[in-house]
Amino acid sequence: MKLAAQRRDHLLALLRDQGRIVAKDAAAELGISEDSVRRDLRELAAAGLCQRVYGGALPVSPAVADYETRGSVAVDSKARVARTAADLVRPGSTVILDGGTTALAVARALPRDLHATVVTHSPTVTVALADHVGVEVLVLGGRLFRHSMVTCGAAAAEAAQAVNADLFLLGVTGVHHEAGLTTGDADEAAMKRTLAGRAAETYVLGSREKLGTASPYRVLPLAEVTAVITDAAPDEPARRRLQDAGVPLLSAS
């Protein structure tokens, strides 16, 4: 029987290699009880090393750090996804642009001569679009959720009901082939669902560090979005799992 530290190392290796842990299977493989595996997973989750789910665990998203810290995480990856997302915005269209650091990169990637309407619940996105004189910016007000610098709550959700958009560019903290699209706050997840319901198409801003990871609150199942925009390489395991699950992917470069 492995020592506790060895068991936890083994569980982390399973997360890396398989993208998930099934407690029952891990217990059988290690020759210990499911309760012991669950206890190990609780300790790993408390250390921020996994996201516990029913029956086991998934890799934890690195996008759970505070907003300022996330601004320096995977900058090049987010820029690639942002450029591809910006190319989806057609002149004359109405676009809902989510909050977060990748959405901010999208705002900065939009052409300065673009004529379109952007609806957002992000103060930082709003400021980034201030010098895009051809872009009409509609700001949804509400309670400020500082982790992603977006407004949430009843007022923001009610304001969103008046919007009919061509496109929603959705930011999440986790994109997993089984858990779907997730984020770290229940109110923020509800707001994202509301916004997705106001657009004809929804594209996910899936920079590579978010693929194969999960956060506590589900936003949408992958079947309900148009595609995931990602810069993950074709041979990366998390991307292959999404492809095998039939998820449409739009490559960013």
Q: Which of 37-46, 70-79, 163-172 has the lowest mean pLDDT?
A: 70-79
Confidence band, pLDDT 50/70/90 cuts, at residue 65: low
> Where along the chain do its domains lie?
4-60, 67-251
pLDDT digits 0-9 by tens, 189-206: 999 999 999 999 999 999
Please state which CATH number belongs to domain 4-60: 1.10.10.10
- pTM of the shown model: 0.85
Q: What percent of the chain has pLDDT over 70?
A: 94
Cβ contacts of 58 within 8 Å, gap of 6 or more: 15, 19, 20, 21, 50, 51, 174, 176, 178, 179, 213, 214
Residue 74 has pLDDT above 80, yes or no: no
Please state which CATH number belongs to domain 67-251: 3.40.50.1360
Residue 52's closest CA among 23, 85, 29? 23
Residue 70 has pLDDT above 60, yes or no: no
Cβ contacts of 223 within 8 Å, gap of 6 or more: none
pLDDT digits 0-9 by tens, 8-38: 888 888 888 888 888 888 888 888 888 888 8
Name residue 220's beta-bridge partners. 181
Type of residue found at 193: R
pLDDT digits 0-9 by tens, 209-237: 999 999 999 999 999 999 999 999 999 99
Cβ contacts of 19 within 8 Å, gap of 6 or more: 58, 59, 176, 177, 212, 237, 238, 241
